[in-house]
Amino acid sequence: MQGFVLGFNMNISVNNIKETNCRCDVLILPITEGDSDLYKNLGASIRKLIKKIFSKEFSGKQNEVLIIPAPSDIRAGRILLIGLGKKAEASAERIRQAGGKAAAYLRDMGMKNAALSTAVISSLKLSPADFAEGALLGLYTFKKYQTKNNDKKLRSLIVLSHSRELKKNIDRIKAITSAVYFSKDLINTPSNDMTPAHLAKAALSLKNKRISVKVFGRRDAERLGMNVYLSVTKGSHEQPKFIVLEYKGAKSKPLALIGKSITFDSGGISLKPSDGMEKMKYDMAGGAAVLGVLKAASELKLPVNLVGILPATENLPGGSATKPGDIAKAITGKTVEIINTDAEGRLILADAIGYAIKHFKPKAIIDIATLTGACSVALGNEAIAMMGNDRKLLDDIKKSAKNTYERVWEMPLFDEYKEYIKSDIADIKNTGGKNGSLVTAAYFLYEFAEKTPWVHLDIAGTAWVEKDKPYIPKGASGIGVRLIIDYLRSALR
Ligand code: BES
Ligand code: MN
Ligand code: ZN
């Protein structure tokens, strides 16, 4: 199936050319704050030029940029100085940010090809691959729906290095970034096109030697007893699709990745206010992240077993929609009283968790979901809210959050929250009221995960970016892909 992966705008290569010999529009020179003499080896004229500029217009502050004509004794047409901030505070994240800022700036300036000097980044014991990652991520655009396309494009970046290891690391970053692009494209696509059926097609496009895909329809879900999931589908004319992928890279028990896949959340009969409702197309960002992870895992041939589950449906009001007070029975046999039809994410996830445990006996479950508005109330747009029942799993994900800067913040699952979601007439109800609604949503899922090691990632505050960040252009952030891939690479070996 073609059409889902459009590829990068920019080509990245690693080449052992001397900075002064590289024929390109622009040579990128990263500079730490206040250090005006980092490039003395490039000759007297560059050295003088940088010294001069340091007296006034540039000092190397984080993400500061300045483009200047190159002296005639080097082959590049221009030089871009990009600030890395204070040497003592250097980090992979800051290098990524510099990469994102530099690439987007050069594109906007109409530059076509650039080369990156790697000496300074390497001297900080950091990797130029992080710069490349920031550059690729920062150049993401979503232009499918704009009929006039006369965009500026930075076409190539040559990373100046002889290192074979760097080349390997950049190849890995390309695979991961391509998966982030894939995920973002799905999320940015409006719900009239990104229907559950279309999401299923996107999943099917990943089919290969190691990935198998099954798509269950309404009848199948009925047969499987997933009536809590089905309760969410009832108001919509779009056919629900319960999508199951398997990636086999090892023989061990699988890790189940479950992504909330509401292709549009109107709230259902508990209708949301119309202000900002257009953004509820991103309520399938969890599902898109899971697809991205499977895509990258298979490209990187990771030695792990994964099951990806996307319970996909719209959540709409309608003549046959579920009404507040209705009760449905989950695949596990538990009955759920649906107090608020807008608390639909936990309903579809409950059956997905139940299905995963029943059919795959996974060694662990990670669910990722735009689950609660309370997530952004608590953490703003800066961190994923994380809750779970397994200390090792939680701690491993925290490490990956540090590595990728897809930050997580752990919230508690106190026993007392059980009371909040007790129903008078069913086993459990789907809301626990306003207070603690971030944690009671997770507690609801905990009641379905039970003894299986499980972690819940609430990405409601981070899956959508309102204002450009250094390497995350506004729109879908694609969060979760880099985090979970890092977890798979570091923890599961
Ligand atoms: N999809 C929303 C959560 C959400 C809100 C995600 C804003 C991203 C941005 C979820 O289905 C929802 O509506 N949650 C309700 C639950 C409430 C009714 C208990 C919420 O958090 O308001
Ligand atoms: Mn909702
Ligand atoms: Zn929702």
Beta strands in 339-444 (DSSP E): 364-369, 384-388, 408-410, 428-429
Q: Any bridge partners for residue 216, and if so which? A: 242
Least distant ligand from the CA of 277: 1
Say whether 271 sits in a helix, a strand or coil: coil
Contact 464, 285 (CB under 8 A): yes
> Which of 6-20, 44-58, 104-118 tops mean pLDDT?
104-118
Atom of ligand 1 nearest to the CA of 374: 21
- What's the 478 CA to ligand 2 centre distance in angstroms? 20
Check pocket membership of 458 for ligand 1, CB cut-off 6 A. Answer: no
Q: What is the pLDDT of residue 1?
A: 39
- What's the 434 CA to ligand 2 centre distance in angstroms? 14
Residue located nearest, by CA, to atom 14 of ligand 1: 372
Of 148-157, 383-392, 441-450, least confident by mean pLDDT is 148-157
- The C-alpha atoms of residue 310 and residue 245 are separated, in whole angstroms, by 9
Say whether 241 sits in a helix, a strand or coil: strand
- The C-alpha atoms of residue 358 and residue 350 are separated, in whole angstroms, by 12
> Can you read off the two tokens belonging to residue 363?
């060694």
The predicted-structure confidence for 68-100, as pLDDT tens digits, reads as follows 999 999 999 999 999 999 999 999 999 999 999
- The C-alpha atoms of residue 197 and residue 9 are separated, in whole angstroms, by 28
**What percent of the chain stands above pLDDT 70?**
99
- What's the 268 CA to ligand 2 centre distance in angstroms? 8
Check pocket membership of 283 for ligand 1, CB cut-off 6 A. Answer: yes
Question: Length of the chain, please?
Answer: 493
Which helix (H) or strand (E) segment holds residue 30: the answer is strand 26-31
Atom of ligand 1 nearest to the CA of 432: 19
Atom of ligand 1 nearest to the CA of 375: 21
| Predicted confidence (pLDDT) at residue 332 exceeds the cutoff of 60 | yes
Say whether 306 sits in a helix, a strand or coil: strand
pLDDT bin (cut points 50, 70, 90) of residue 2 is very low
- What's the 410 CA to ligand 3 centre distance in angstroms? 21
Place of tokens 């990797």: 127
Contact 253, 361 (CB under 8 A): yes
What would the mean pLDDT of 290-306 be, rounded to a whole number?
98
pLDDT bin (cut points 50, 70, 90) of residue 201 is very high
Atom of ligand 1 nearest to the CA of 340: 18
Residues 6+ apart with CB under 8 A from 352: 229, 242, 258, 309, 311, 367
Backbone phi, psi, residue 309, to 5°: -125, 125
Q: Which of 262, 263, 284, 342 to mutate to test the pocket of ligand 1 (most atoms within 8 A of CB)?
A: 342
Say how many C-beta atoms besides its own lie within 10 A of residue 54's C-beta. 17
What is the pairing mode between strands 11-15 and 464-465?
A: unpaired
The predicted-structure confidence for 119-168, as pLDDT tens digits, reads as follows 999 999 999 999 999 999 999 999 999 998 778 999 999 999 999 999 99
Query: Could you give the residue numbers annotated as active site?
Result: 272, 346
Euclidean distance between the first and the last CA atom of the chain, given in angstroms as a whole number = 32
Mean pLDDT of the chain: 96
> Can you read off the two tokens belonging to residue 466?
């309102």
The predicted-structure confidence for 256-292, as pLDDT tens digits, reads as follows 999 999 999 999 999 999 999 999 999 999 999 999 9
- The C-alpha atoms of residue 364 and residue 484 are separated, in whole angstroms, by 13
Residues 6+ apart with CB under 8 A from 253: 305, 360, 361, 362, 363
- What's the 237 CA to ligand 3 centre distance in angstroms? 18
Q: What is the pLDDT of residue 6?
A: 74
Contact 50, 117 (CB under 8 A): no
> Can you read off the two tokens belonging to residue 265?
């959340």
- The C-alpha atoms of residue 69 and residue 208 are separated, in whole angstroms, by 49
Contact 181, 140 (CB under 8 A): yes
Check pocket membership of 437 for ligand 1, CB cut-off 6 A. Answer: yes
Residue located nearest, by CA, to atom 7 of ligand 1: 373
* Helix and strand counts by DSSP (H, E) for the chain: 15, 20
What is the pairing mode between strands 464-465 and 384-388?
A: unpaired
The pTM score is: 0.97
What separation in angstroms does the CA of 321 have from each of 291, 312, 342? 28, 16, 12
Check pocket membership of 337 for ligand 1, CB cut-off 6 A. Answer: no
Q: What is the pLDDT of residue 150?
A: 74
**What percent of the chain stands above pLDDT 90?**
96
Q: Which of 372, 421, 439, 458 to mutate to test the pocket of ligand 1 (most atoms within 8 A of CB)?
A: 372
Residues 6+ apart with CB under 8 A from 273: none
Residues 6+ apart with CB under 8 A from 183: 285, 288, 289, 291, 292, 476, 478, 480, 481
Q: What is the pLDDT of residue 492?
A: 63
Chain Cα centroid distance, residue 137: 11
Atom of ligand 1 nearest to the CA of 315: 11
Check pocket membership of 370 for ligand 1, CB cut-off 6 A. Answer: yes
